[in-house]
């Protein structure tokens, strides 16, 4: 039987080869991939041990369960976020990390006290709505106007002032579902730019179909770039069913909508990053950075975004902390504050720690799906280290990715400053079903996938920290 199978496979290969020759294509001579840097036998034993321990432990589950149960949602700059920092310090102490501290900073606070929209005519119907982060209040009682619909942002960008003036702009663009979340990048400009462009054309408010992939009656919250551009137009996201309703009403005739927002806006609200370390045994000033963010939007529990990330990096670091011998380099764990409404924690961290020797950084901020790929952003000379990392992660079902890692939102300032980053890329096929909605709750986390995440982070962080590998190009 075995001989038969081998013969079949060889026949298939021969047939494929001859097909290429028939078409005149020369046989492929692919560029050899870089060799993997060597992992020592002791390191491999440690990796095996970390993976086995991670796959048997529900510590990450317990951490995110505790965060969403005892703190709940934690809007940037709020009293709840302050409680989350206290929780963070307590949690880091329980893990026996060292050098635990809060790095305080302030940010412009925004919170919706009221967020309502309804169809006024042809007949009243209320809609499910979320004010977009940073939206100003409407006048008391709301703004009411006829709706003008655009299938996408470019429709609005190319619209005449006559069509838009005095109206409520509705961008009906849909987001598509992808494993890697690339649909988000394509869909989010309407959230960021709708109010800016609508205001420049004389609109009275902006309304978008929620940036999300679910079919449920939830509006998806999210930030917008208005404030930076001096825009003052009220802006909301509506649920998919309400976007469908508007589309059907507009196909019948003129449709008027009322939007009513009351926003609590304050300057200089307190926030902070919570920071701790596992000090390196040989090279304590060389830092392997693990980041997740502590704040969340307030309609959901912030379980997937980003309680899961907090839990994953914490449980992974704790496994490393418990090794008989700590890694050579320092592992620094950062719970970033105030990510959702403008990366304020990331910016504050990068400013204060610009002089630190960050060897490499990773952020967990894409829910709790299984990690399926390791992408890097290393100097070419460091690609053998990427291969070694990918090889170490292979037993967890992680496949090699390219060298174009983004690193996660809170790593943008460091990446721009040249710090090498990686993406332990999670399967995000359903992430945008829940993202920034009331439905981001604990029950959406799969405990088994969470364990696999911890195993991958522990493996990767240990390996990065227990070497003298460098990932950035040497200074010229």
Contact residues: its own copies, CB under 8 A:
65, 68-73, 80, 83, 119, 122-125, 128, 215-218, 240-241, 244-245, 248-249, 252, 300-301, 437-439, 441-444
Give CA–CA dist 396/131, Å, rounded: 40
Contact 44, 388 (CB under 8 A): no
| Tokens of residue 457, six digits | 């982070």
Q: Which residue, 51 or 255, has its beta carbon nearer to its own copies? A: 255
Give CA–CA dist 116/136, Å, rounded: 13
Q: Which residue, 10 or 241, has its beta carbon nearer to its own copies? A: 241
Give CA–CA dist 446/61, Å, rounded: 9
- Shortest Cβ 348–its own copies spacing (Å): 26
Give CA–CA dist 418/121, Å, rounded: 54
Q: Which residue, 15 or 251, has its beta carbon nearer to its own copies? A: 251
Residues with Cβ within 8 Å of 349's Cβ and at least 6 positions away in sequence, in order, are 103, 273, 275, 334, 336, 410, 413, 414
Q: Which residue, 306 or 423, has its beta carbon nearer to its own copies? A: 306
Q: Which residue, 245 or 323, has its beta carbon nearer to its own copies? A: 245
Q: Which residue, 65 or 356, has its beta carbon nearer to its own copies? A: 65
Question: What's the number of CA atoms in the CB half-sphere (13 Å) around residue 429?
Answer: 4
- Helices 308-321, 79-94: axis angle to 10 degrees equals 20
CB atoms within 10 A of CB 385: 23
- Shortest Cβ 218–its own copies spacing (Å): 7
| Tokens of residue 420, six digits | 């090498």
- Shortest Cβ 251–its own copies spacing (Å): 9
Q: Which residue, 249 or 320, has its beta carbon nearer to its own copies? A: 249
- Shortest Cβ 112–its own copies spacing (Å): 13
Helices (H), 23-135: 41-56, 59-66, 79-94
CA-wise closest residue to 169 among 140, 147, 190: 147
Report the run of H or E that residue 344 belongs to, with start and end: helix 344-352
Contact 236, 117 (CB under 8 A): yes
| Tokens of residue 22, six digits | 């028939």
- Shortest Cβ 61–its own copies spacing (Å): 12
- Shortest Cβ 315–its own copies spacing (Å): 19
- Shortest Cβ 80–its own copies spacing (Å): 8
Q: How big, in percent rounded to 5, are the helix, strand and coil portions of the chain?
A: 40, 25, 35
- Shortest Cβ 189–its own copies spacing (Å): 25
- Shortest Cβ 125–its own copies spacing (Å): 4
Contact 377, 407 (CB under 8 A): yes
CA-wise closest residue to 177 among 399, 433, 424: 433
Q: Which residue, 198 or 304, has its beta carbon nearer to its own copies? A: 304
Q: Which residue, 437 or 467, has its beta carbon nearer to its own copies? A: 437
């Amino acid at each position: 039987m075995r001989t038969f199978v081998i013969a079949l496979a060889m026949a298939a290969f021969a047939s494929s080869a001859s097909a290429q020759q028939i078409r005149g294509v020369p046989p492929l001579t692919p560029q050899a991939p870089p060799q993997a840097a060597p992992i020592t036998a002791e390191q491999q034993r440690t990796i095996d041990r970390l993976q086995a321990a991670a796959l048997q432990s529900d510590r990450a589950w317990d951490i995110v369960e505790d965060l969403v149960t005892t703190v709940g949602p934690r809007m940037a700059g709020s009293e709840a976020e302050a409680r989350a920092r206290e929780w963070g310090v307590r949690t880091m102490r329980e893990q026996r990390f060292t050098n635990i501290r809060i790095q305080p900073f302030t940010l412009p606070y925004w919170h919706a006290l009221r967020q309502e929209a309804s169809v006024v005519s042809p007949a009243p119907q209320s809609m499910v709505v979320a004010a977009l982060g940073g939206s100003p209040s409407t006048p008391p009682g709301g703004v009411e106007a006829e709706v003008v619909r655009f299938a996408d942002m470019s429709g609005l960008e190319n619209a005449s002032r006559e069509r838009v003036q005095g109206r409520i702009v509705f961008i009906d663009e849909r987001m598509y579902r992808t494993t890697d979340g690339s649909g988000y990048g394509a869909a989010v400009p309407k959230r960021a730019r709708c109010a800016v462009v609508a205001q420049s054309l004389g609109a009275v408010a902006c309304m978008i179909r929620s940036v999300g992939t679910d079919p449920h009656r939830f509006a998806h919250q999210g930030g917008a770039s208005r404030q930076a551009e001096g825009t003052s137009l009220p802006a909301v996201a509506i649920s998919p069913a309400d976007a469908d309703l508007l589309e059907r009403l507009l196909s019948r005739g003129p449709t008027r909508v009322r939007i009513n927002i009351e926003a609590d806006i304050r300057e200089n609200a307190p926030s902070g990053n919570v920071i701790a370390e596992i000090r390196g045994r040989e090279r304590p000033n060389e830092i392997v950075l693990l980041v997740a963010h502590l704040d969340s939007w307030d309609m959901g529990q912030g379980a997937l975004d980003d309680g899961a990330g907090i839990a994953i990096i914490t449980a992974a670091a704790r496994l490393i902390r418990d090794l008989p011998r700590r890694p050579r380099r320092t592992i620094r764990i950062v719970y970033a504050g105030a990510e959702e409404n403008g990366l304020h924690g990331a910016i504050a961290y990068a400013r204060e720690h610009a002089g630190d020797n960050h060897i490499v950084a990773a952020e967990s901020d894409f829910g709790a799906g299984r990690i399926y790929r390791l992408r890097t952003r290393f100097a070419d000379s460091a690609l053998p280290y990427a291969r070694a990392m990918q090889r170490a992660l292979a037993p967890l079902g992680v496949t090699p990715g390219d060298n174009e890692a983004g690193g996660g939102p809170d790593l943008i300032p460091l990446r721009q400053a040249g710090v090498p980053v990686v993406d332990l890329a999670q399967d995000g096929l359903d992430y945008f079903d829940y993202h920034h909605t009331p439905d981001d709750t604990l029950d959406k986390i799969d405990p088994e996938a969470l364990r696999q995440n911890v195993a991958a982070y522990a493996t990767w962080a240990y390996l990065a920290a227990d070497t003298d590998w460098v990932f950035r190009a040497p200074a010229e």
